[in-house]
Amino acid sequence: MAKVALRGPHGDVETLWAEAMGGGRYCLDNTPWYAYSVSWRDVIEASPDADGQLQFVKVVSKGGNRTVRIRSKEPFTSEWLGKIVELGASYEGADRRLIGINIPADTELGVITSFLTAEGVEWEHADPSYEELYGGADAT
């Protein structure tokens, strides 16, 4: 396993675990919290910087997962997050206030986003991004 640094559009940096596949390719083993257009199990290209830290270069192939992110001033409870799992998704949290939700290919994206909207949760498209889905600049 290796750590690969990815950057969000506002300069946020996160390091995700990834399985080395050879030839500068890595399969992501985390759900991103800041980066867009990349999800768990995507195969990416990465190369080391001057300090040896692997840096994301590009997506080589998609793994079939999608990512949305949720935020809250108050921590999400385990019980509430369990509802996400019941709907067919999984999650990974930077903390209990910023959560990346992984939506596998066999779960409808709209099932998750409709649930989040009905719950009044602040959420955003991360992969695919809003722009990739709709061609606009709005984030939700």
Q: Are residues 105 and 48 in the same domain?
A: no
* CATH code for position 87: 3.30.70
Percent of the chain with pLDDT over 70: 96
E strand map for the chain: 2-7, 13-22, 25-28, 43-48, 54-61, 66-71, 90-95, 98-103, 122-127
Candidates 44, 47, 9; CA nearest to 25 is 44
Residue 38 sits in the same domain as residue 78: no
**pLDDT tens digits, residue range 87-119?**
999 999 878 899 999 999 999 999 999 999 999
Give the DSSP per-residue string, 47-77.
EE-TTS-EEEEEEEE--S-EEEEEE-SSPPP
In this prediction, residue 137 carries a pLDDT of 58
Task: Check whether residue 57 and residue 70 sit in a common domain.
Answer: no
pLDDT tens profile 59-77: 999 999 999 999 999 999 9
Q: What is the extent of the structural domain holding 110?
A: 66-134
* Same domain assignment for residues 73 and 39: no
pLDDT at 94: 74
Position 56 in a domain = yes
- For residue 50, being part of any structural domain is answered with yes
Q: In the chain, how many domains are there?
A: 2
Task: Provide the 10 A C-beta neighbour count for residue 122.
Answer: 12
The pLDDT value given to residue 138 = 53
Which of 29-38, 109-118, 131-140 is predicted least confidently? 131-140
Could you identify the residue written with the tokens 């080395």? 20
Residue 140 lies in a domain: no
> Is the entire prediction scored with pTM above 0.85?
yes
Structure tokens, 139: 């984030």
User: What mean pLDDT, rounded, does the chain reach?
Assistant: 93
Q: Residue 110, class by beta-carbon neighbours within 10 Å (0-12 exposed, 13-18 middle, 19+ buried)?
A: exposed
Q: Is 53 exposed, middle or buried (0-12, 13-18, 19+ CB in 10 A)?
A: middle
